[in-house]
């Protein structure tokens, strides 16, 4: 294959475009150009190689009422979008059957095994030294009771090739200056990390893509054909030897035109970023499990992320979520701007929480890479290596059968 159109320029599309261009495939990336629209902008930046368990499990389903937004938790459903999430939830339930969970767990374990390695290779390819901080993560507990409960849960949760250990009192004391109270306990995970800045990483990837001769078109694809020709919103037409659909939560309408069902939901998350803070740059990504809040120190500021709000990807934001996030930070004693940069965006989530990565069986010129849910930043680099292998007729680094979109009929 000599040329390809990559549709969607979030972290997944951008990483694929760079890998393809670097491999000698003339690549055109088409994206509307609003950097804040996709999930790649506002995420927690965590390279979460430990998250090999899919979220679709009976345990999560049974525990859901306790985690609802109305009960103080992170989980919410947009009533106006019930026609979207109700059928999706039925698929989620089907994916929670023990045999399906075991299959999804095996698929995610294989995909995440070399996720950090792939990121380090991407960092080198994109000439962005120091972008990856492989410093693990801290899951901390403010109360002994919740810490003990969490430990029981972690003891029976697979975490792939990652490891965790108790944090020492010295490590916990590092939170003295930045929280009201010292955490009662914490677990430090190894084998995970974060990027120095999610948008910075995407910018670095796209800059290198252009430097290698890749072409970027600022537009949205409206119609496409399996022969790899597309038409855009502004009426332009492009054609190549192949195309790749990588539009995150917006991928379903394009896949439908290719004859494939992609039961995606927008699992929307909220974040706030403050340049005003006193969070040390050398503290790892910190996860307050009791509050479902993640704090990440980026070069561009301190970011707090939370919430799982099921609905339409582009629905208006619910400002109560940012207010709740402020309350969590105030309760913890985190110094943060009262007027931070607020963001909401959709995780592209399939019912079994396994991304769709591959080549359409019925149209071999059509590739796809979307549905990375909570792990699109983590998995973008390994996904790009897989797409490069497929497009250049090399064996992919892992068995792709579990990632085929045809699993949804
Ligand atoms: C609050 C929050 C925290 C998160 N934290 C983490 C984390 O710590 N670690 C992690 O690994 N993951 C995390 N994620 C998940 C991760 O951000 C996503 O999985 C990932 O960004 C998805 O990337 P993507 O490129 O597939 O999609 P997106 O980033 O959504 O990009 C899709 C792109 O396609 C474009 N597009 C849409 N339609 C068209 C069209 N018709 N034509 C052309 N272009 C189109 C969009 O404009 C957009 O630019 C988080 C997500 C959220 C919301």
Share of the chain above pLDDT 90, in %: 99
pLDDT in tens, 191-207: 999 999 999 999 999 99
Residue 376 CA, ligand 1 centroid: distance in Å: 7
Task: Average the pLDDT over 290-309 and give the result.
Answer: 97
Question: What gap in Å lies between CA 9 and CA 38, rounded to an integer?
Answer: 9
pLDDT of residue 14: 98
Which residue is closest in CA terms to ligand 1's atom 18?
376
Which residue is closest in CA terms to ligand 1's atom 22?
376
User: Which ligand 1 atom minimizes the distance to the CA of 306?
Assistant: 1
pLDDT over 90 at 289, yes or no: yes
With beta carbons less than 8 A apart as the criterion, state whether 346 and 266 touch: yes
pLDDT of residue 1: 87
pLDDT in tens, 312-349: 999 999 999 999 999 999 999 999 999 999 999 999 99
Which residue is closest in CA terms to ligand 1's atom 27?
248
**Pairing between strand 229-232 and 221-225?**
antiparallel
Evaluate: CB of 74 within 6 angstroms of ligand 1.
Answer: no
Question: What gap in Å lies between CA 20 and CA 6, rounded to an integer?
Answer: 9
Evaluate: CB of 116 within 6 angstroms of ligand 1.
Answer: no
pLDDT of residue 365: 96
pLDDT over 90 at 409, yes or no: no
Evaluate: CB of 382 within 6 angstroms of ligand 1.
Answer: no
Task: Average the pLDDT over 248-272 and give the result.
Answer: 98
User: Which ligand 1 atom minimizes the distance to the CA of 12?
Assistant: 25
Evaluate: CB of 304 within 6 angstroms of ligand 1.
Answer: no
User: Which ligand 1 atom minimizes the distance to the CA of 41?
Assistant: 29
Which residue is closest in CA terms to ligand 1's atom 45?
8
User: Which ligand 1 atom minimizes the distance to the CA of 14?
Assistant: 25
Evaluate: CB of 136 within 6 angstroms of ligand 1.
Answer: no
Evaluate: CB of 250 within 6 angstroms of ligand 1.
Answer: yes
- Domains along the chain with CATH numbers: 3-408 (3.50.50.60)
With beta carbons less than 8 A apart as the criterion, state whether 84 and 92 touch: no
Q: Which of 152, 164, 150, 157 is nearest to 192 (CA)?
A: 164
Q: Which of 137, 141, 168 is nearest to 152 (CA)?
A: 141
Task: Average the pLDDT over 9-24 and give the result.
Answer: 98
Share of the chain above pLDDT 70, in %: 100
Task: Average the pLDDT over 69-82 and give the result.
Answer: 96
SS3 per residue for 289-339 = HHHCEEEEEECCEEEEEEEEEEECCCCCCCHHHHHHHHHHHHHHCCCCCCC
Which residue is closest in CA terms to ligand 1's atom 26?
248
Q: What share of the chain is helix, strand, coil (3-state, %, to 5)?
A: 40, 25, 35
Evaluate: CB of 365 within 6 angstroms of ligand 1.
Answer: no
pLDDT in tens, 90-138: 999 999 999 999 999 999 999 999 999 999 999 999 999 999 999 999 9
Question: What gap in Å lies between CA 358 and CA 372, rounded to an integer?
Answer: 13
Residue 248 CA, ligand 1 centroid: distance in Å: 5
Evaluate: CB of 375 within 6 angstroms of ligand 1.
Answer: yes
Evaluate: CB of 220 within 6 angstroms of ligand 1.
Answer: yes
Sheet with 193-195, strands from edge to edge, namely 46-47, 193-195, 132-133
pLDDT over 90 at 397, yes or no: yes
User: Which ligand 1 atom minimizes the distance to the CA of 35?
Assistant: 49
Residue 32 CA, ligand 1 centroid: distance in Å: 13
């Amino acid at each position: 294959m000599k040329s390809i159109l990559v549709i969607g320029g979030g972290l997944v599309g951008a990483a694929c475009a760079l890998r393809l261009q670097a491999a000698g495939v003339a690549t055109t990336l088409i994206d509307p150009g609003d950097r804040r629209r996709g999930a790649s902008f506002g995420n927690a930046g965590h390279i979460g190689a430990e998250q090999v368990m899919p979220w679709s499990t009976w345990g999560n389903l049974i525990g859901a009422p306790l985690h609802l937004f109305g009960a103080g938790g992170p989980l919410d459903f947009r009533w106006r979008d019930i026609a979207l999430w109700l059928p999706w939830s039925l698929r989620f339930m089907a994916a929670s059957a023990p045999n399906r969970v075991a299959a999804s767990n095996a698929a995610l374990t294989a995909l995440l095994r070399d996720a950090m390695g792939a990121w380090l290779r991407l960092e080198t390819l994109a000439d962005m030294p120091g972008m990856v901080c492989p410093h693990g993560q801290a899951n901390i507990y403010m109360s002994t009771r919740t810490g003990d409960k969490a430990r029981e849960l972690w003891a029976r949760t697979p975490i792939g090739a990652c490891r965790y250990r108790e944090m020492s009192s010295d490590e916990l004391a590092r939170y003295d200056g930045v929280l009201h109270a010292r955490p009662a306990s914490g677990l430090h995970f190894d084998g995970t990390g974060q990027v120095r800045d999610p948008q910075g990483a995407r910018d670095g990837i796209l800059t290198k893509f252009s430097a290698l001769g890749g072409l970027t078109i600022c537009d949205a694809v409206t119609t496409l054909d399996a022969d790899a020709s597309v038409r855009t919103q502004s009426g332009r037409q492009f054609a190549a030897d192949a195309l790749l659909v990588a539009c995150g939560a917006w991928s379903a309408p394009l896949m439908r035109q290719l004859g494939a069902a992609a039961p995606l939901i927008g699992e929307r998350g909220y974040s706030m970023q403050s340049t005003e803070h006193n969070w040390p740059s050398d503290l790892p990504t910190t996860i307050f499990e009791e509050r479902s809040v993640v704090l990440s120190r980026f070069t561009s500021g301190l970011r707090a992320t939370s919430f799982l709000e099921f609905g339409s990807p582009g629905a208006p934001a619910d400002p109560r979520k940012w207010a709740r996030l402020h309350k969590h930070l105030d309760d913890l004693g985190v110094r943060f701007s009262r007027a931070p940069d607020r963001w909401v965006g959709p995780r592209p989530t399939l019912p079994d929480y396994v991304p769709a990565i591959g080549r359409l069986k019925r149209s071999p010129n059509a590739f796809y890479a979307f549905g990375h849910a909570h792990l699109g930043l983590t998995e973008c680099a390994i996904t790009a290596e897989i797409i490069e292998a497929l497009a250049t007729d090399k064996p992919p680094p892992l068995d792709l059968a579990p990632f085929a979109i045809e699993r949804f009929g």
